[in-house]
Amino acid sequence: MSGFSERYFRPYASAALAIRRFVRERLQLSPRVGWLFRQVKLLPGGARLLDVGCGTGGFLELLEQENTGIETFGLDLGSPPDFLSRGTFLRGSATVLPFADNSFDLVTCAHVIEHLVDGRPCVNELLRVCRPGGVVYIETPSPRSAYVPFFNTFWDDPTHVRPYSRTGLERLLEAAGAENVESGVKHSLPAVVFGLPYLPIGLLTGDRQAKAMFAIYAFGFSVWAGCAKPHHE
């Protein structure tokens, strides 16, 4: 677990991110996948949402803002220095989730499986804890993120093992028995517009993710896939 200590999460929770948080919270220009946020918005009051590999809880915080009536949980292998979500934080492994079958209405897992030698056990667990008819969402760096030299590349994170293509994510979910699989590449025009002038600011203020954030949304460095859990096994 030492690879995911507080030191690992520090660049994602630094005070140097104040400008980026202002853009996200005040201007409400955070990059988001429309398909996922529509699923979150449709959840009834009291529905349970789990974010696996939640890190500092920033992604979970965005989902909570979309639907204030849901109950949220975040799980991570390490302990971030700060947790931005209002939900419950737990420590645990993405490949052995500490929850009963069919525990959640929606399960997300963003930027986790690229850290795993084999993503199949993780995907199996995401579907196991999701209720029949519920939704599972996965997001991860694409192979493109490994080959652009100027920006923070996939291999700059020593805990990364392999990137996934959009087709690879689809097949991973289908092999686990998922239905109605949707997928796409994560782009964001506002992130590009604000990200370009933020590049020198972020670098000067110590935001190690400044180059990576711009490239992710400008060049489609992240891919995603979502699905429904079958009502029958």
pLDDT for position 14: 46
- Give φ, ψ of 75 to 5 degrees: -130, 135
The answer to whether 177 and 201 are in contact (CB under 8 A) is no
- Residue 8 C-alpha from the chain's centroid: 16
Which percentage of the chain shows pLDDT scores above 70?
A: 71
- Asked if pLDDT for residue 217 goes beyond 50, the answer is yes
pLDDT for position 127: 97
pTM: 0.82
Rounded Cα–Cα distance for residues 115 and 91 (Å): 17
pLDDT for position 27: 46
pLDDT for position 164: 94
> How many other C-beta atoms lie within 10 A of the C-beta of residue 192?
16
Polymer length of the chain = 233
Half-sphere exposure at residue 13, Cβ-oriented, CA atoms within 13 angstroms: 18
- Asked if pLDDT for residue 78 goes beyond 90, the answer is no
The answer to whether 129 and 106 are in contact (CB under 8 A) is no
Q: Per the structure block, which two tokens stand in for 55?
A: 């890190």
> How many other C-beta atoms lie within 10 A of the C-beta of residue 219?
16
Q: Tell me the per-residue pLDDT of 19-64, one tens digit each, with 9 for 90 and over.
A: 555 555 544 556 678 999 999 999 999 999 999 999 889 899 989 9
Amino acid at 122: C
DSSP string, 33-70: -HHHHHHHHHPPTT-EEEEET-TTSHHHHHHHHH-TTS
- Asked if pLDDT for residue 18 goes beyond 50, the answer is yes
Residue 233, classed as helix, strand or coil, is: coil
pLDDT for position 1: 38
